[in-house]
Structure 1
Amino acid sequence: MAWLGPEEWSAVALSLRVSTWAMLVSLPLGVLTAYALARWRFPGKQLLNGLVHLPLILPPVVTGYLLLLGFGTQGPIGRALEKIGITFAFHWTGAALAAGIMAFPLMVRAIRLSIEAVDPRLEQAAATLGAPKPWVFVTVTLPMILPGILAGAILAFAKAMGEFGATITFVSNIPGQTRTIPSAIYAFLQVPGGEGPAMRLVVVSVVVAMAALLASEAISTRVARRVAGT
């Protein structure tokens, strides 16, 4: 990374921080949501499925504005959290929240597909032996869907790295605080002579995205072979 300038490196470091937290915090909820959509039957299941995938359909700016209304300093959730020292608006934690929400559908879809590929009879067999459902999930389901979880986490991380619209709407573009790689590219392109730094960050983005896609594809192929028994 020596070929990156201080501002560029700051954007890369912040993007890695934001994407890592966005992925780690949303992963448990992503697994639970994917399992519910794949295995459970309950009223409102299609509504939940729609809400999960809504960030893929809505313009990112709309998602960011909704986050600002809810988690901003004047929003109901934002005011309540601020009283206990948690701030999202115009802070890197808000960037992680926005990135996590935008990446959540990709994570859930990858994990859900891996769960649906597991033969339910294996889980039923463990249950008939007296194992409680949480133990069945931990000992039977989880090991088999682990590649799917990894694939979903990788895709979510890459998506979070590239998130721009919701992030800049919710937390603005503050150097050192909320200026991630996409925001930095946008900022560099607004000033004369910024094409060089912008292009270097574009290269970083492409490399990260391609690495994530290749890793996800390799894991998906492994899952398919395991299901086929080859």
Structure 2
Amino acid sequence: MLFDLSPMWISLKTTITATCIIFFIGIAAAYFMEGYHGKLKGVMDTVLILPLVLPPTVVGFFLLLIFGTNGPIGKLLLELNTSIIFSWPSTIISAAVVAFPLMYKTTRSSFEQIDNNIINAAKTLGLSEWTVFWKIIIPLAWPGVIVGTVLAFTRALGEFGATLMIAGNIPGKTQTIPVAIYFAAESGEMSTALIWVILIVAISMLVMVLMNCWSEYQRKLIYGFRG
């Protein structure tokens, strides 16, 4: 009997898609919050980071309330004769929501470390906000952006609780590697669970090694090689 690799492909598609989404949303949210000084800043920042500290099942429950048949978005989707609960898009949503705080927090920390004098000088020279953002802020914050992206990727890859709540365990459709590990272990198929464990650990380690190599390359590029 051939080994079913569908959980790996589903996990990779889900993780890559979720990471691409939160890459742009995370940068936009971090940039907005860095420049926002209103009274609600503390509350907004807390809400954006909240999925990081809540149990994944709680996050999944809130997603059910939002996207379920009785939720605001769920009702809207029903009017369009569609639903995302227990479908592949729901795996993307759960992975993105849980991994988003890592991207947001890391990127915002990078923005905070940029010297405002550099930004003010660029604006004084007549550069637009858009040009300053892409030509100065992003390049200076790029190492932190990459770290946040990698951390978000690995977190999305390992997402389990929220995914199980809103996507379920549908082989070939919503069964990701973490979900496959859980149900394989539950059914006593320890060898199958072990294979998936080794695979997800290998993928995570590969991503982290690539990030470390990239960081070392950047360090040598900026400071020069020190033997």
TM-score, normalization by structure 1: 0.88
Deviations along 1:35-70, one digit per CA (max 9) or x if unpaired, are: 223343222111111111111211110110110111
1:196 pairs with one of 187, 191, 196: 191
Q: Shift of residue 223 of structure 1?
A: 6.7
Provide the C-alpha distance between the structure 1 equivalents of 2:11 and 2:209, rounded to a whole number of angstroms: 20
Q: Which amino acid aligns with 1:211?
A: L
Q: Which amino acid aligns with 1:37?
A: M
After superposition, the Cα gap between the structure-2 partners of 1:122 and 1:229, relative to the gap in structure 1 and judged at 3 Å, is: farther
After superposition, the Cα gap between the structure-2 partners of 1:217 and 1:82, relative to the gap in structure 1 and judged at 3 Å, is: farther
Q: Shift of residue 142 of structure 1?
A: 1.5
After superposition, the Cα gap between the structure-2 partners of 1:54 and 1:100, relative to the gap in structure 1 and judged at 3 Å, is: same
After superposition, the Cα gap between the structure-2 partners of 1:145 and 1:5, relative to the gap in structure 1 and judged at 3 Å, is: farther
- Percent identity between the aligned chains? 34
Q: Is the 8 A contact 1:111 1:152 kept in 2?
A: yes
1:45-64, aligned counterparts within 5 Å?
45-64=41-60
Q: Which amino acid aligns with 1:214?
A: V
Residue 118 of structure 1 pairs with residue 114 of structure 2: yes
Unpaired segments ≥5 residues, structure 2: none
Q: Shift of residue 111 of structure 1?
A: 1.2
2:209 pairs with one of 206, 210, 214: 214
The match for 1:134 is 130
Q: Is the 8 A contact 1:168 1:183 kept in 2?
A: yes
1:174 pairs with one of 158, 170, 177: 170
The match for 1:70 is 66
Q: Shift of residue 86 of structure 1?
A: 5.7
Q: CA RMSD in A?
A: 2.3
1:95 pairs with one of 84, 91, 95: 91
Q: Shift of residue 126 of structure 1?
A: 0.9
The number of aligned residues is: 224
Deviations along 1:154-208, one digit per CA (max 9) or x if unpaired, are: 211111110001110111111111100000001111223x111110110111112
The match for 1:44 is 40
Q: Shift of residue 229 of structure 1?
A: 5.8
After superposition, the Cα gap between the structure-2 partners of 1:57 and 1:224, relative to the gap in structure 1 and judged at 3 Å, is: farther
Q: Is the 8 A contact 1:95 1:170 kept in 2?
A: yes
Q: Shift of residue 135 of structure 1?
A: 1.4
Q: Shift of residue 145 of structure 1?
A: 2.0
